[in-house]
């Protein structure tokens, strides 16, 4: 379903590196690079504001493209600098409504930046952070979540695909529980958007944050926030400027009615336009096709890794996605990353500090993280296995 030769021909970086770091920053397609360069060139030629004025349609298209990608209204999409900015806008906006005794429910494999924000608000307001137990596969347990909810729960906030492995948390099941009980639901989809189909209506989340640089194959410095029309009416963004709101009188202002209330005046126009191109590019392949290819490659990769003595796979869940994590007996993960870099093979490692609760539970300090995407090949997997085997022998 994926023409891999075509995808690689349209991805300049594949000529230079074996790139298994797509959950860090994927290789951009040529047309995304061209969109980025073209707008920067235009800014250099005629000026930044003037270039933005000439590309209003391309700028607006990005909102339409994202809305189509995740199945929402264009007015429910905000362009942001990165997923953390989007996530923080949603979380800290809601946090303004929290009071002592309220509860946040989150997953054990929650990302560190998110959990630090919970801790900060807990210090300020006296709220309680409760971690939803895992099921026997290591994924968040929906039945445990349901049993934890009472009238003090003001937010369910989880990471869809954690940074430290292939686990895919049951986002749809969480949404059904949250919606049935009327609890706001924030989903960090940083590692899942672009890797697999995402439908916010099916998931049932009220807010979703994502980045452009990972599986969407867009530029760094880009991301978006989805905020449902219903949830936007219930809280204000933590920061407002004269883009997010209008100064209507000496002592009055009016917040805009769409998700752009989470944006600010100055933004990365070249990146925004290129992100729209990246979304169009992903959509042209079909997210179902992309996910099927990703699962094929990841399954093959895990099978090959499992045959190497001393290598232990570390992914959780019944059907892990395209992020593959492992450890090697006697060799630290950062050392594996450095050794593979000698062969122009890009991987990374994930540490205790990124997902402390999950890593502590499993007595892990670091894991090697290789994240595949549809333009990777079976031959690249063979090469990786060959070089890894040599390096750890």
State pLDDT tens for residues 87-119: 999 999 999 999 999 999 999 999 999 999 999
Question: Quick one: pLDDT at residue 219?
Answer: 98
Helix and strand numbers, DSSP H then E, in the chain: 16, 15
Question: Quick one: pLDDT at residue 233?
Answer: 85
Question: Quick one: pLDDT at residue 1?
Answer: 84
Q: Report the distance separating Cα 370 and Cα 345, nearest Å.
A: 10
Please give the structure tokens belonging to residue 313: 């796979």
pLDDT digits (tens, 9 = 90+) for 17-59: 999 999 999 999 999 999 999 999 999 999 999 999 999 999 9
* Residues paired with residue 249 on neighbouring β-strands, in sequence order: 252
Query: Residue 318, SS3?
Result: coil
Note the pTM of the prediction, 2 decimals.
0.97
For the cut 90, the answer to whether the pLDDT of residue 238 exceeds it is yes
Range with the poorest average pLDDT among 72-86, 193-207, 231-245, 377-391: 231-245
- Are 43 and 36 contacting, i.e. CB atoms less than 8 angstroms apart? no
Q: Nearest Cα to 192, choosing from 218, 219, 169, 221?
A: 169
Work out the mean pLDDT of the chain and round it to a whole number.
97
For residue 193, what pLDDT band results from cuts at 50, 70 and 90?
A: very high
Question: Quick one: pLDDT at residue 38?
Answer: 98
User: Which percentage of the chain shows pLDDT scores above 90?
Assistant: 98
CATH architecture of 4-25+286-392: Alpha-Beta Complex (3.90)
Beta strands in the chain (DSSP E): 18-19, 77-80, 103-107, 128-132, 153-159, 185-188, 207-211, 223-227, 245-249, 252-255, 311-313, 323-328, 345-346, 348-351, 366-371
Domains of the chain, by residue range, sit at: 4-25+286-392, 31-284
**Complete DSSP assignment for 51-97:** HHHHTHHHHHHHHHHHHHHHT--GGGEEEESSHHHHHHHHHHHHHTT
Question: Quick one: pLDDT at residue 356?
Answer: 98
Question: Quick one: pLDDT at residue 234?
Answer: 87
In angstroms, how far is CA 142 from the centroid of its own chain? Answer: 21
Give the pairing type, strands 366-371 and 128-132.
Answer: unpaired
pLDDT digits (tens, 9 = 90+) for 135-150: 999 999 999 999 999 9
Class of the domain covering 31-284: alpha beta
């Amino acid at each position: 379903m994926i023409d891999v030769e075509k995808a690689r021909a349209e991805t300049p970086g594949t000529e230079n590196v074996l790139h298994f770091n797509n959950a860090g920053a994927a290789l951009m397609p040529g047309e995304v690079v061209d969109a980025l360069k073209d707008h920067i060139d235009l800014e250099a030629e005629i000026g930044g504001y003037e270039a933005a004025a000439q590309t209003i349609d391309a700028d607006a298209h990005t909102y339409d493209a994202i809305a189509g990608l995740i199945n929402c209204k264009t007015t429910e999409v905000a362009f942001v600098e990165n997923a953390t900015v989007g996530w923080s806008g949603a979380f800290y906006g809601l946090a303004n409504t929290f009071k002592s005794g309220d509860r946040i429910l989150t997953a054990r494999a929650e990302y560190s930046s998110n959990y630090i924000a919970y801790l900060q608000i807990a210090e300020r307001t006296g709220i309680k952070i409760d971690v939803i137990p895992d099921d026997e596969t290591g994924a968040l347990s929906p039945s445990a979540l349901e049993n934890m909810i009472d009238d003090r729960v003001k937010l369910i906030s989880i990471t869809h695909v954690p940074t430290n492995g292939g686990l895919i948390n049951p986002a749809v099941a969480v949404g059904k529980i949250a919606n049935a009980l009327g609890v706001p639901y924030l989903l960090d989809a940083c590692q899942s958007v672009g890797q697999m189909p995402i439908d916010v209506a099916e998931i049932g989340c009220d807010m979703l944050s994502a980045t452009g640089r990972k599986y969407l194959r867009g530029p760094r410095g880009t991301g978006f926030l989805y905020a449902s029309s219903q949830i936007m009416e219930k809280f204000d963004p933590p920061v407002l400027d004269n883009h997010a709101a209008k100064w209507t009188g000496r002592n009055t202002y009016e917040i805009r009615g769409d998700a752009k209330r989470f944006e600010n005046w100055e933004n990365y126009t070249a990146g925004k336009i290129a992100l729209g191109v990246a979304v169009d590019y992903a959509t042209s392949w079909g997210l179902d096709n992309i996910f099927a290819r990703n699962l094929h490659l990841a399954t093959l990769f895990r099978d090959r890794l499992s045959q190497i003595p001393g290598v232990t796979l570390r992914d959780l869940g019944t059907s892990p996605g395209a992020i593959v994590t492992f450890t090697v007996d006697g060799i630290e993960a950062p050392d594996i990353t450095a050794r593979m870099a000698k062969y122009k093979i890009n991987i990374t490692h994930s540490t205790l500090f990124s997902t402390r609760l999950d890593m502590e539970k499993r007595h892990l300090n670091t894991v090697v993280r290789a994240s595949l995407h549809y333009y990777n090949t079976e031959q690249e997997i063979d090469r990786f296995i060959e070089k890894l085997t040599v390096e750890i022998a």
